[in-house]
Amino acid sequence: MSFLACRVYRDGHEVSHRLEMISVTDLSPGEVIVNVCYSGINYKDALAATGRGQILKKFPLNAGIDLAGEVEESSDPRFKPGDKIIVNGCGLGEIHDGGLAQKARVPADWVMPLPEGMTMRESMILGTAGFTAALALHRMLHNGQTPDKGPVAVTGASGGVGSFAVNMLSNLGFEVVAISGREAHYDYLKELGATHVSSVDDLELGTKPLERARFGGVVDNIGGETLAKLMAHTQLWGNVACIGLADNHQLSTTVFPLILRGVSLLGVSSTNCPMPLRTKIWQQMGKELKPNRFSLILSHEAKLKDVSILFDDLLNRKRFGRILIDCRA
């Protein structure tokens, strides 16, 4: 039986996607066949599907780095038909057919049972964005980040990762400075729990290699000059979680914050997170890290057949929060 998929092709140097009907035999190998119920799209998915970023390592391939659904068939005894499961990262939508399809076939070692305390729909509102924010918090907390160190700055705050980071940090008792260039979203960020909302320019961060300590820590989604300046403003023994490159992939800074204030620069790679830690964090997101503003963070929900226009909207910064894709047949 054929089903709909958002499939990415390369023709010479040109990469593009199209929605088409394919069969299970077209899918990457794996022990578990899933009827996909929900997926989601973020900036990385948009880069992959449009060819604006070198995300996919093979072609053709179904896009989508997340999925939630029900097991249709499994040759692995850990899973049986009807089980509700999620798959997140692990190469999905990069080296393996992804979640923007009505069916997927995946290795059993990538599959996690749907965590207690969340629905499949909630799991894909969270998706890689929520998981990445939670992974950043895990690294910071594990490295001694506490509310008494001072406010945590979150850049790219109105995006998916930023929105969840603001809400989760606030729920854990942190003062949050949400940094966004989109003034129209300031009220939204305050509703998520931000104590203060500002643009980068309004913060007047300065250019010295070591500035006045203003932030206990940082969750950075944009990279480049802003990341370097925020490091210079980070408090003694604060943590800077580096997540994204929405502004720039380069980082030009000095070692002064690291050696004079003990600041830690923590890399956050959601794709390569070890499975035991991945599972632990997903379980926490159904409990103590569960956001309390799902309806606010979900900015748009669409059917799989309507996904194409949303890629351009993301790349052109016309969307905020999370976009949920209903993949059900």
Secondary-structure percent of the chain, ordered helix, strand, coil, rounded to 5: 30, 30, 40
Residue 320, pLDDT score: 85
pLDDT tops 90 at residue 143: yes
pLDDT in tens, 307-329: 999 998 888 888 888 999 999 98
pLDDT in tens, 11-27: 988 999 999 999 999 99
What's the mean per-residue pLDDT of the chain? 95
Residue 293, pLDDT score: 92
Residue 93, pLDDT score: 94
Select the more confidently predicted residue: 200 or 247: 200
Distance CA 270, CA 134 (A): 10
Which residues on adjacent β-strands are paired with residue 15? 10
pLDDT tops 90 at residue 43: no
> In this prediction, what percent of the chain has a pLDDT beyond 70?
100
pLDDT tops 90 at residue 72: yes
Q: Quickly state the pLDDT bin for 105 (edges 50, 70, 90).
A: very high
Q: Which of 266, 153, 263, 162 is nearest to 221 (CA)?
A: 162
Mean pLDDT, residues 184-191 = 96
**Alpha helices (H) in the chain, listed in sequence order:** 43-50, 120-142, 160-171, 186-192, 200-203, 224-232, 256-260, 275-285, 294-297, 308-315
Q: Quickly state the pLDDT bin for 42 (edges 50, 70, 90).
A: confident
Q: Quickly state the pLDDT bin for 250 (edges 50, 70, 90).
A: very high
Q: Please, what are the domains in the chain? A: 3-114+297-326 (3.90.180.10), 129-267 (3.40.50.720)
Are the CB atoms for 32 and 106 separated by under 8 Å?
yes
Which residues on adjacent β-strands are paired with residue 38? 68, 326
Are the CB atoms for 195 and 167 separated by under 8 Å?
no
Say how many C-beta atoms besides its own lie within 10 A of residue 318's C-beta: 10
pLDDT tops 90 at residue 33: yes
pLDDT in tens, 260-306: 999 999 999 998 999 999 999 999 999 999 999 999 999 999 999 99
pLDDT tops 90 at residue 162: yes
Are the CB atoms for 324 and 298 separated by under 8 Å?
yes
Residue 148, pLDDT score: 97
| 289 SS3 class | coil
Residue 140, pLDDT score: 98
Distance CA 22, CA 100 (A): 12
pLDDT in tens, 52-64: 888 888 999 999 9
Sign of CA dihedral 88, 108, 284, 37: positive
Residue 54, pLDDT score: 85
